[in-house]
């Protein structure tokens, strides 16, 4: 950020748009708004661009969407210049990519770092937002865009006695910037979600003893990560236009081999062969082997059972294998974990799995923690305990809409949006990756790009027509909430106690948050709505 910081005594700085967040979404918003000639600023609590890939630098952090696809598609020059080294890039490479993008498009000059947005208050008379920060600055913007991230508020469970622990506590989602060396240490990991599944094999390479505390067994499939071949890189560079276009016609904004048959219409032998082929190929492609895996319990079980058989084959200790197979939900109804040697790691004699479903963690002590009256002693404990997802970051900001209505109050019974883009009662405020959007079910870079394209196009359009405000109507919002619920209820996804439902946060209202009806459908719909001059939105001068 180039301009001098404001002080509390300055009058609010006038902007066309204030963006909160400088991850994939915030960065692209800056680029787009600048091209449109808008004055804008993106504010981020981090000292650098990157969002997710700035904060989550735990050992083993990688993307689960193939690197070639998990990247921006808006610039042909960028597609041509950037070279991914591996099928699934690791955090340092993804972060380097984001910094490269920031440099290439000179994004930082419209960004303010190390600054948290604390409130955003709408003024009914001026139709503008007053945004304040923890550094005492104030901004007066016609539009405000929340690009605050769906997984940006780490969840720190409150265990009794946590403050007494003499060792170090880390959270995967807020990992220190400097290297952490666990050599020779006794380490405990709490959680077995995607972050844990990625970090456990890496941490196990260093530790003397490693204990993993598992509450819910997860399904994980191998990434089969490897360097990209020169042919693969060249093929992407020659075909990316068609490939990007095609990915936007899928329900997850990602190219996969989408199985066209039901798992139940083929023989058990054929299924086994197909699951095995996909297992060997690696990645989340495994979960798309048949078209009814997340629709039909019986079909789903064929897929889940295959993974359980794999666990039996890989994990030598039968008790550990048994515990790793106690999944309580249908496969692929939480984002499928992909790993490198997760199950294999349990064959190391110093790696132990502890069940904390039947006996939850009781308390932390000076030396470690206790489960079922037994004390486990550690030098370090890693919380791989996830995030207050989708609503956490926006609700950390005191957002007040028309007539001072707090967003917290509006969302008391669960989050509500129109298309995942706007909330009724909050004019000129847009959100990226909000509840009601397909976001977390997709290759998120692509769904982010399309959300940003739509938001920036919408703002440019209504300004051209000299409207002063745009606001989702209550009725359109109500109908969209119904559509989001219906889409989820047609699938097995509500059967998992996942962060999609808010089930991981004590006291959070349980509402299925993402739209699972298909990215392709959503994309067509939002542009149809734009063509109808923003049907379902109220425009006023």
- Chain residues that interact with ligand FAD, rule: CB under 6 A: 20-26, 43-46, 51-52, 54, 56, 61, 63-65, 70, 116-117, 147-152, 195, 393, 396-397, 432-433, 443-444, 448
User: Residue 320 or residue 439: which is nearer to ligand FAD going by CB?
Assistant: 439
Contact 170, 380 (CB under 8 A): yes
d(C-alpha 45, C-alpha 42), whole Å: 10
CB-CB contact of 16 with 142 (8 Å) = yes
Closest CA to 446 of 298, 249, 310: 249
- Which one of ligand NAP, ligand FAD, none is in contact with 338 (Cβ closer than 5 to 8 A by kind)? ligand NAP
Cα→Cα distances 394→111, 144, 171, 302, Å:
19, 12, 21, 39
3-state class (DSSP) for residue 146: strand
CA-to-CA distance for 414 and 509, rounded, in angstroms?
Answer: 6
What whole-number distance in Å separates Cα of residue 250 and Cα of residue 520? 5
Packing angle between helix 444-464 and helix 24-35, nearest 10 degrees?
30
In the bound state with ligand FAD, the residue whose beta carbon lies nearer, of 365 and 439, is: 439
Looking at residue 291, the DSSP 8-state letter turns out to be T
Backbone angles phi, psi at 100, to 5 degrees: -60, -45
Minimum CB separation of residue 15 from ligand FAD in Å reads 15
Q: Work out how close the CB of 208 gets to ligand NAP at its nearest, in angstroms, rounded to a whole number.
A: 23
Cα–Cα distance for residue pair 493/49, rounded to 1 Å:
33
Pick what 99 binds: ligand NAP, ligand FAD, none; C-beta below 5 to 8 Å, kind-dependent.
none
Give the shortest CB-24-to-ligand FAD separation in angstroms: 4
Q: Which is nearer to ligand NAP, 221 or 458 (CB)?
A: 221
Which of ligand NAP, ligand FAD, none does residue 452 bind (CB under 5 to 8 Å by kind)? none
Q: Which does 523 bind (CB under 5 to 8 A by kind): ligand NAP, ligand FAD, none?
A: none
Pick 19 or 187: Cβ nearer ligand FAD: 19
CB of 391 to ligand FAD, least distance (A): 12
Cβ 335 to ligand NAP shortest distance, Å: 4
The interface partner of residue 192, options being ligand FAD, ligand NAP, none and the CB cut-off 5 to 8 Å by kind, is ligand NAP
Q: Please, what is the minimum distance in Å from the beta carbon of residue 453 to ligand FAD?
A: 14
Q: How far apart are the first and last CA of the chain?
A: 33
Angle, alpha carbons 454-466-474 (nearest 5°): 60
DSSP one-letter code for 496: S
Interacting residues toward ligand NAP by CB under 6 A: 62-64, 151, 157, 172, 190-196, 198, 213, 215-216, 335, 338, 356, 361, 384-387, 499, 504
Say how far apart CA 508 and CA 494 lie, in whole Å: 15
Report the partner that residue 51 touches, choosing among ligand NAP, ligand FAD, none (CB closer than 5 to 8 A by kind). ligand FAD
Nearer to ligand NAP, 215 or 410 (CB): 215
The 8-class DSSP code of residue 154 comes to B
Instruction: Report the residue number, 47 or 227, with the smaller CB distance to ligand FAD.
Output: 47
Closest residue to ligand NAP: CB criterion: 193
Structure tokens at 534: 């923003």
Sign of the CA dihedral running 320, 322, 323, 325: positive
Residue among 259 and 283 whose Cβ is closer to ligand NAP = 283
488 binds, among ligand FAD, ligand NAP, none (CB under 5 to 8 A by kind): none
- Report in angstroms how near the CB of residue 529 gets to ligand FAD at its nearest: 22
Judged by beta carbon, residue 246 or residue 273, the one nearer ligand FAD is 246
Query: Which partner, ligand FAD, ligand NAP, none, binds residue 448 by CB below 5 to 8 Å per kind?
Result: ligand FAD
State in angstroms the smallest separation of the CB of 448 from ligand FAD: 6
In the bound state with ligand FAD, the residue whose beta carbon lies nearer, of 111 and 299, is: 111
Torsion of CA 93, 278, 172, 499, to 10 degrees: 130
As measured in angstroms, the least distance from the Cβ of 23 to ligand FAD is 2
Residue 151 neighbours by CB under 8 Å, 6+ apart:
52, 173, 386, 387, 389, 440
Closest to 399 in 3D by CA, of 369, 371, 366, 429:
429
Which of ligand NAP, ligand FAD, none is residue 356 near (CB under 5 to 8 Å by kind)? ligand NAP
Taking residue 180's Cβ as centre, other Cβ atoms within 10 Å add up to: 16
Residues 403 and 501 sit within 8 Å (Cβ to Cβ):
no
């Amino acid at each position: 950020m180039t301009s001098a910081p404001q002080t509390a005594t300055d009058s609010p700085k006038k902007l066309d748009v204030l963006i909160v967040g400088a991850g994939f979404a915030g960065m692209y918003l800056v680029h787009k708004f600048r091209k449109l000639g808008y004055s804008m600023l993106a504010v981020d609590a981090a000292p650098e661009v990157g969002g997710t890939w700035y904060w989550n630098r735990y050992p083993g952090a990688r993307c689960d969407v193939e690197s070639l696809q998990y990247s921006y598609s808006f610039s042909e020059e960028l597609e041509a210049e950037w070279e991914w080294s591996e099928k699934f890039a690791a955090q340092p490479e993804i972060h380097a990519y984001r910094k490269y993008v920031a440099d290439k498009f000179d994004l930082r000059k419209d960004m303010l770092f190390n600054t948290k947005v604390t409130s955003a208050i709408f003024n009914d008379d001026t139709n503008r937002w007053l945004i304040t920060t923890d550094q005492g600055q104030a901004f007066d913007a016609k539009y405000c865009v929340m690009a605050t991230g769906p997984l940006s508020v780490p969840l720190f469970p409150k265990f009794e006695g946590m403050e007494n622990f003499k060792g170090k506590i880390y959270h995967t989602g807020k990992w220190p910037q400097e290297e952490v060396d666990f050599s020779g240490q006794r380490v405990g990991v709490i959680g077995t979600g995607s972050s844990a599944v990625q970090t456990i094999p890496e941490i196990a390479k260093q530790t003397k003893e490693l204990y993993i505390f598992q509450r819910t067994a997860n399904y994980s499939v191998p990434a089969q990560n490897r360097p990209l071949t020169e042919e693969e890189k060249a093929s992407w560079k020659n075909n990316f236009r068609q490939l990007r276009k095609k990915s936007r016609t899928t329900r997850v904004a990602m190219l996969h081999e989408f199985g066209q048959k039901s798992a139940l219409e083929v023989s058990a032998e054929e299924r086994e062969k197909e699951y095995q082929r996909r297992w060997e190929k690696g990645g989340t492609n495994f979960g798309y082997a048949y078209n009814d895996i997340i629709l039909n319990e019986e079909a789903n079980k064929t897929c889940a059972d295959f993974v359980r058989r794999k666990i039996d084959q890989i994990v030598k200790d039968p008790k550990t294998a048994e515990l790793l197979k106690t999944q309580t939900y249908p496969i692929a109804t939480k984002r499928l974990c992909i790993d490198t040697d997760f199950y294999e790691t349990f064959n190391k004699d110093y790696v132990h799995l502890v069940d904390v479903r039947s006996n939850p963690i009781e308390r932390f002590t000076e030396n470690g923690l206790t489960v079922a009256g037994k004390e486990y002693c550690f030098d370090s404990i890693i919380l791989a305990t996830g995030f207050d997802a989708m609503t956490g970051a926006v609700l950390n900001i005191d957002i007040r809409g028309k007539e001072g209505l707090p967003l917290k109050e509006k969302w008391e019974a669960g989050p509500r949006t129109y298309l995942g883009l706007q909330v009724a009662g909050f004019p000129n405020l847009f959100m990226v990756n909000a509840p009601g959007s397909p976001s977390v079910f997709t290759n998120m870079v692509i769904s982010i790009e399309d959300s940003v394209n739509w938001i920036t196009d919408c703002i440019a359009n209504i300004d051209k027509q000299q409207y002063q405000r745009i606001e989702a109507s209550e009725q359109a919002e109500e109908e969209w909430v119904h559509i989001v619920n219906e889409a989820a209820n047609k699938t097995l996804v509500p059967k998992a106690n996942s962060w999609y439902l808010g089930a991981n946060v004590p006291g959070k209202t349980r509402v299925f948050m993402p739209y699972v009806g298909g990215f392709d459908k959503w994309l067509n719909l939002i542009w149809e709505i734009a063509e109808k001059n923003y049907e379902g939105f109220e425009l006023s001068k």
